[in-house]
Amino acid sequence: MATITHGGNTAFTKLITLVKTALGGKVDKVEGKVLSTNDLTDALKQGYDGAVTHAAAAHAPAGAQVNVIEAVKVNGTAAEIADKAVNITVPTKVSEIANDSKFQTEAEVDAKIAAADHMKRKKVTSVDDIDASAAGAEEYIYMVPKGTGKNADKFDEYMVIDGAPEKVGDWEVNLDGYVQSKDITEMTADDVQTIWDSIT
């Protein structure tokens, strides 16, 4: 199996040193400013100041009125104003709203779940102990021991499919292809330097 390397304290210390060195000649960013070659002359600033002053001045036409809400409508219908106030009733319970989308209540959902088929596990001694003709036989995953001794806690899994037991899986775990700790080595400072030199 190929050797896999990972970074440790030495490698990351070297990397930090390289980054600090690379950033040593950079200009610090000043809040609110950006680096630019577009110098602002006095003439340009005077023009910008004049534009800001003009934009801030009032430009409303003669006869204009202040933008004031004169009516409140609910779904297009004007709401009644009483004592200088408008009372808009907002539903606070689902029962106050028409259930036109047929949403289900908690009790209705629970009933649907309870009525649905559920897969359950059942331990049996052997495949011969699976009664494929029993009521609800297709709702179980049957756990058949692989053997005795060290294999007593391992099982083959069967389901009743089309009236007969069929093996659908087992509890064996395949670790082929997994990396072991002995196959992992720590990156060195020289490794980091080599990678750094290849991209700078």
pLDDT tens figures, 161-171: 999 999 998 87
Please state whether 149 falls in left (phi above 0), alpha (psi between -120 and 50) or beta: left
Report the distance separating Cα 162 and Cα 102, nearest Å: 36
Mean local confidence (pLDDT), 36-51: 77
3-state DSSP percent of the chain in helix, strand and coil, to 5: 35, 20, 50
Report the distance separating Cα 200 and Cα 80, nearest Å: 73
In Å, what is the CA distance from 94 to each residue of 88, 99, 102, 110, 154? 17, 8, 12, 18, 51
Least confident of 38-42, 76-80, 87-91: 38-42
H helices present in 24-71, as ranges:
42-56
Q: What is the DSSP letter of 125?
A: S
* Six token digits for residue 118: 């559920």
Q: Any idea where the domains of the chain sit in the sequence?
A: 118-170
pTM: 0.35
Range ranked top by mean pLDDT from 127-131, 146-150, 181-185: 127-131
